[in-house]
Structure formats: structure tokens, C-alpha cells
């Protein structure tokens, strides 16, 4: 408790008022920077060189370790550990970072590790929800409004686009990319890039089964935009030509911004994209052409 006592001794009266919601059993090292109106629960540990934005709530037994920064209005639940050293034998104990955007919720037991090379970071955007016991390894980059469900594990340098939904117990290989508004169904294992707007097949590896229609509707995209995407995906996955040939054909036939985003993602892929797997009997024709399917 010596460092906690030192922390309180250096506060002004105004700062002590702001710090009134710090539990007496919490340990806050002197170099930590705390925002206004924060709450810190029992037995939490906030290390030197941590920054916490205004109105954050830090639960019991949370560890916020050196070089971690939380944005405003974040809530970190019990037992989470942010900013621990990367699980990488090549790590040289250099200064690297974890950055969490505003309005994020990080549930029980989540672990997020620092970048593995000097000056690099693991980054989570704003308005994200990381559910219990999910894990972000070193140098993972997560976009805005992403939901990562219980037990999902993301390996080093994985990239996740905005508004992606990753279901429970998914496995994402290192350096893999998941495009914007994609959805990984439960238990999916991914070593190839998942194109934007696609949904993977549950309990399968490296497969997509169609368009994330629900996610696109919720994001406000029209039936016409969704129909263009379905036709583009049909050309990409259901024609007897190479991927590069399919992309050229799609770019020539469609002027939709969403289709253009899909094509750019595929062209930028270094690992290759997931393959298509046909749905089982009774499942809809997810690459169909009719408006009622969008």
C-alpha cells in the first residue's frame, strides 16, 4: 500500500475529490494518469505510465499495466488484464503500447497484450464490446463498433474491420484480415482473409457461406446495394474463372462503392481469401439474384 499512499499524498484537494471512487484496496502507481469521475474497484492494479480517460469504470481485480491507454467512458470488468507483455519469444522488453478507444466495454477475464516491436501497438477502436475471456494478441488491430464474443482468440497482427461480429470460440490466425461488416459464426477457424460483408460457416475453417444480410441491413444499406454485393460475390465464388479474373469482371460490371470495397480487399490479400462452401439443404440461396433475398 506504500505506492497507493504516495499517490494520494501528491493529489490536490480537487484531485482527491475526483478520486473519491477509488477503492482503498486498489493500487495506483504514482505515474498513472487518471481522468475525471472514474471509478476503480477493489484490488485493482494500475501501473505507472497508464492513462485512463474520463468517466471510466475499472472493476475489481483488473490489471492495467504500463503503456496502456483507455479512452473515455470505458468499462473494464473484473479480472481483465490489459497491457501485459506479448507472448512472443522474439520480444526484447522494448516500449510498446495498448490503445483502447472511447466507449468500449471489456468483460471479465479479457486479455490484451502490447505490441511486440518497439513503438508498435495493439489497438481497439471506439464503441467495441469484448466479451468474457476473449484474447487479443500483440499488434492486433480492431476497428470501430466491433463485437468479439466469449472465448474468441485473435493471434498476432490480425486485423478486424469496422462493425465485424466475431462469435464465440472463434480462432483467428496471425496476420489474417477480417473485412468490414463480416460475421464469423461460432467456432470458426480462420487462416485466410474473410472478405467484407461475408458470413462464415459455423465450425468450419476458411469458408464463407454468403452475405451478412442482417449486418448490412442494420448498417443502413439498401436492398439495391445488397443485391449488387450478392451478384458480385456470386461472380467471385460461383464462376469457373480465377479470383483475379473474377475481380476484373466485377469491377467492369458494377460501379457500387460496396462492390469496389470488396474488390480492393481481395486484391490486397496476401494470404488469399476464404473459399465458398454451399449451404446445407434448407438453407437459403445466399448468393441469389432476386431482390427478396436481400
Cell of 6: 504516495
Residue 195 lies in a domain: no
Residue 264 lies in a domain: yes
Residue 127 and residue 258 in one domain: no
Residue 24 and residue 127 in one domain: yes
Closest C-alpha among 73, 4, 2 to residue 32: 4
Residue 106 and residue 232 in one domain: no
Of 105, 133, 157, the residue at which a domain comes to its end is 157
pLDDT reading at 35 higher than 60: yes
Residue 36 and residue 138 in one domain: yes
Residue 19 and residue 138 in one domain: yes
Residue 142 and residue 252 in one domain: no
Q: Per residue in 158-206, pLDDT tens?
A: 999 999 999 999 999 999 999 999 999 999 999 999 999 999 999 999 9
Residue 13 and residue 96 in one domain: yes
Residue 145 and residue 13 in one domain: yes
Q: Which domain holds residue 18?
A: 2-157
Q: Per residue in 90-129, pLDDT tens?
A: 999 999 999 999 999 999 999 999 999 999 999 999 999 9
Q: Per residue in 249-294, pLDDT tens?
A: 999 998 899 999 999 999 999 999 999 987 655 444 455 444 445 5
Going by C-beta distance under 8 Å and a sequence separation of 6 or more, which residues neighbour residue 167? 149, 152, 183, 184, 185, 186, 187, 188, 202
Residue 119 lies in a domain: yes
Residue 105 lies in a domain: yes
Q: Per residue in 221-259, pLDDT tens?
A: 999 999 999 999 999 998 888 999 999 999 999 889 999
Residue 217 lies in a domain: no
Of 157, 183, 209, the residue at which a domain comes to its end is 157
The band of 12, judged by pLDDT with boundaries at 50, 70 and 90, is: low
Of 118, 133, 157, the residue at which a domain comes to its end is 157
- CATH at 245: 1.20.1180
Residue 237 and residue 151 in one domain: no
- CATH at 131: 2.160.10.10
C-alpha dist (Å) from residue 271 to 111, 173, 176, 266: 26, 11, 7, 10
- Whether the pTM exceeds 0.85: the reply is yes
pLDDT reading at 3 higher than 60: no
Residue 15 and residue 153 in one domain: yes
Residue 131 and residue 265 in one domain: no
Residue 10 and residue 152 in one domain: yes
Q: Given 3-state DSSP classes, what are the helix, strand and coil percentages for the chain, each rounded to the nearest 5? A: 20, 25, 55
Residue 106 lies in a domain: yes
Residue 137 lies in a domain: yes
Residue 79 lies in a domain: yes
State the pLDDT at residue 5.
47
Cα 132 to its chain centre, rounded Å, is 13
Cell of 223: 436492398
The band of 65, judged by pLDDT with boundaries at 50, 70 and 90, is: very high
For the chain, what is the domain count?
2
Amino acid at each position: 500500500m506504500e505506492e497507493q499512499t504516495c499517490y494520494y499524498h501528491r493529489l490536490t484537494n480537487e484531485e482527491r475529490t475526483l478520486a473519491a471512487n477509488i477503492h482503498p484496496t486498489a493500487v495506483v502507481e504514482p505515474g498513472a494518469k487518471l481522468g475525471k469521475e472514474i471509478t476503480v474497484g477493489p484490488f485493482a492494479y494500475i501501473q505507472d505510465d497508464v492513462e485512463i480517460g474520463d468517466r471510466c469504470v475499472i472493476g475489481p481485480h483488473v490489471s492495467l499495466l504500463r503503456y496502456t491507454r483507455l479512452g473515455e467512458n470505458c468499462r473494464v470488468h473484473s479480472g481483465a488484464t490489459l497491457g501485459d507483455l506479448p507472448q512472443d519469444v522474439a520480444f526484447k522488453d522494448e516500449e510498446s503500447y495498448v490503445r483502447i478507444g472511447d466507449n468500449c466495454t471489456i468483460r471479465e477475464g479479457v486479455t490484451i497484450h502490447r505490441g511486440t516491436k518497439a513503438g508498435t501497438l495493439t489497438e481497439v477502436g471506439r464503441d467495441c464490446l469484448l466479451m468474457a475471456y476473449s484474447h487479443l494478441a500483440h499488434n492486433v488491430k480492431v476497428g470501430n463498433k466491433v463485437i468479439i464474443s466469449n472465448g474468441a482468440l485473435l493471434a498476432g497482427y490480425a486485423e478486424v474491420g469496422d462493425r465485424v461480429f466475431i462469435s464465440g470460440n472463434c480462432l483467428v490466425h496471425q496476420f489474417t484480415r477480417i473485412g468490414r461488416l463480416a460475421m464469423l459464426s461460432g467456432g470458426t477457424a480462420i487462416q485466410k482473409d474473410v472478405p467484407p460483408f461475408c458470413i462464415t460457416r459455423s465450425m468450419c475453417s476458411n469458408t464463407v457461406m454468403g452475405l451478412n444480410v442482417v449486418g448490412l441491413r442494420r448498417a443502413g444499406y439498401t436492398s439495391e446495394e445488397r443485391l449488387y454485393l450478392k451478384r458480385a460475390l456470386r461472380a467471385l465464388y460461383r464462376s469457373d474463372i480465377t479470383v483475379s479474373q473474377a475481380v476484373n469482371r466485377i469491377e467492369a460490371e458494377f460501379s457500387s462503392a460496396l462492390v469496389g470495397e470488396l474488390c480492393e480487399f481481395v486484391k490486397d490479400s496476401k494470404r488469399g481469401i476464404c473459399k465458398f462452401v454451399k449451404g446445407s439443404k434448407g438453407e437459403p440461396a445466399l448468393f441469389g439474384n432476386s431482390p427478396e433475398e436481400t
